[in-house]
Amino acid sequence: MSIVVSSVTKQYLARQGWFTVLKDVDFTLAKGDRLGILGRNGSGKSTLIRLLGGVEAPTSGYIHADKDMRISWPLGFGGGFQGSLTGLDNLKFICRIYGEDYRKKRPFVEDFAELGRFFREPVKSYSSGMRARLAFGISMAIDFDCYLIDEVLAVGDQRFKDRCRDEMLEKKENKSLILVSHSIASLKEYCNRFCVLTDGELTHFDSLDEAQKFHMAHIQRQKE
């Protein structure tokens, strides 16, 4: 099972014309690969994750996943919830889409998301952090083959972040993962392959040290 990203370009129409966020991005992710993509804010990391999760479509190029490679939505992304439905009803709906029994997933999600009575309240009443915790909990409850993470563990207090970390490192250690981040420490902890995204272009490296040197050199050039 694999994911193939081929010549993916993403552009948006701005007042000044077309703005290119990603340019000819290529990579293949095999089963068990944990790809870390290093980049500064504004480098196109979040856009790439949204494309991989099917939230947006490429302007050109293609993203193909084998039928037996089930990809998560971006972890912590709560934008796909139906606001008028409760957290529980959103769980039911998502489980129906993925062919899962929500009754088996509910105890885990309810405990993991730590929403209390708000689990039975409309999602539109949630804070952004509550929506993110619900999204993370549901993502962890469903057995995906590849997890998409935008800036790992960016929500919640330290205790919640530790729970997320334990879930990803221990219970999901045999799963594929794509993590985009500006944190060297996060990539070192979670990943076994490394790339750097600079100005929308993806560069591959054999080690995290090489990726870090390239990344820091790019930052220095921008300061000069």
pLDDT of residue 154: 57
pLDDT of residue 133: 86
pLDDT of residue 40: 85
Q: Amino acid identity, residue 137?
A: G
205: enclosing H helix or E strand: strand 201-205
DSSP single-letter state for residue 204:
E
pLDDT of residue 79: 62
Q: Which residue has the tokens 């998560």?
A: 72
- Calpha distance 59→45 (Å, rounded): 16
pLDDT, tens digit (0-9, with 9 covering 90-100), for 34-91: 999 998 887 888 899 999 988 899 999 999 999 888 898 887 655 678 889 999 999 9
**Which band of pLDDT confidence, cut at 50, 70 and 90, is reported for residue 118?**
very high
pLDDT of residue 224: 65
Q: How many residues does the chain have?
A: 224
Query: Within 10 Å of residue 96's Cβ, how many Cβ atoms?
Result: 11
**Which band of pLDDT confidence, cut at 50, 70 and 90, is reported for residue 192?**
very high
- SS3 for 20-50 is EEEEEEEEEEECCCEEEEECCCCCCHHHHHH
Q: Amino acid identity, residue 140?
A: M
pLDDT, tens digit (0-9, with 9 covering 90-100), for 90-107: 999 999 999 999 999 999
pLDDT, tens digit (0-9, with 9 covering 90-100), for 121-179: 999 999 888 888 898 889 889 888 999 988 755 556 677 777 877 877 776 678 899 99
pLDDT of residue 183: 84
Burial of 38 (0-12, 13-18, 19+ CB in 10 A): buried
What pairs with residue 18 in β-bridges?
13
CATH: 3.40.50.261, 3.40.50.300, 3.40.1190.10, 3.30.43.10. Which one for 1-72+176-223?
3.40.50.300
pLDDT of residue 46: 87
Residues with Cβ < 8 Å from 113, sequence gap 6 or more? Answer: 87, 119, 130, 133, 134, 136, 137, 138
